Amino acid sequence: MKPLEARLVRATQAGLPLVARPYAALASDLDVDEAQVIATLRDMLADGRIRRIGAVPNHYALGYRANAMTVWDVPDAAVDELGRAVGALPFVTHCYRRPRRLPGWPYNLFAMVHGKDRGEAACKIREIESVLGAHARAHDVLYSTRILKKTGLRIA
């Protein structure tokens, strides 16, 4: 990471300044030009180091009380294709392949599902089941019951 990129990451981790010219305010804090700040953010968006810029909502505040991590054991040869299919479902907010840890943890595909209640989440989980069909050899659903810590990532 270039020095200005690292400084911008630190300066914006808590969010953008809520002023009419937020990039100018950042530039003034970092002692650079507004145009440099904008160009740097644009580069980082283009290569994916910034996923997006905007509002990060709180699930619970939006009424999503049922937050389910669904985990699936699917064949390695099919996991990428199946992961893309599950990730394309409109209600799946994260979808990852992760390593199995045998014997206690046989699951290699993770999909996060949020519902207003567990009934709504369960309907969505059934849709994932129907996408995976016979490829899903086993699955489990882990509902969150409490947030123990949520500080956001501290990077750089």
Partner 1 sequence: MDELDRAIVNQLQGGFPLGERPFLEAAAALGVTENGLLERLSDLLERGVLTRFGPLFDAEKLGGQFSLCAMSVPAQDFERVAALVNAHPEVAHNYEREHRFNMWFVVAAAEVRTVLDAIERETGYPVMDLPREAEYFIGLRLAA
Residues 5-64 that bind partner 1 (CB under 8 A): 9, 12-16, 18-24, 34, 38, 41-42, 44-45, 47-59, 61-62, 64
Q: Which two tokens stand for residue 102?
A: 């045998």
Q: Does 142 bind partner 1 (CB under 8 A)?
A: yes
Q: Is residue 30 within 8 Å of 11, Cβ to Cβ?
A: yes
Q: How many residues contact partner 1, by CB under 8 A?
A: 74
Q: Is residue 57 within 8 Å of 80, Cβ to Cβ?
A: no
Q: Does 144 bind partner 1 (CB under 8 A)?
A: yes
Amino acid found at 137: R
Q: Does 80 bind partner 1 (CB under 8 A)?
A: yes
Q: Does 138 bind partner 1 (CB under 8 A)?
A: no
Give the residue, chosen from 3, 103, 133, 152, that forms a contact with partner 1 under the rule CB under 8 A. 152
Closest distance of CB 68 from partner 1, Å: 9
Closest distance of CB 58 from partner 1, Å: 5
Q: Is residue 57 within 8 Å of 122, Cβ to Cβ?
A: no
Site string for partner 1, 84-123 (x = CB under 8 A): x-xxx---xxxxxxxx-x--xx----x---x---------
Burial 5-24 (b: 16+ CB within 10 A, else e): bebbbebbeeeebeeeeebb
Q: CB neighbours (10 Å) of residue 93?
A: 14
Closest distance of CB 71 from partner 1, Å: 9
> Which residues contact residue 140 at a Cβ distance below 8 angstroms, ignoring those fewer than 6 apart?
70, 71, 107
Q: Does 134 bind partner 1 (CB under 8 A)?
A: no
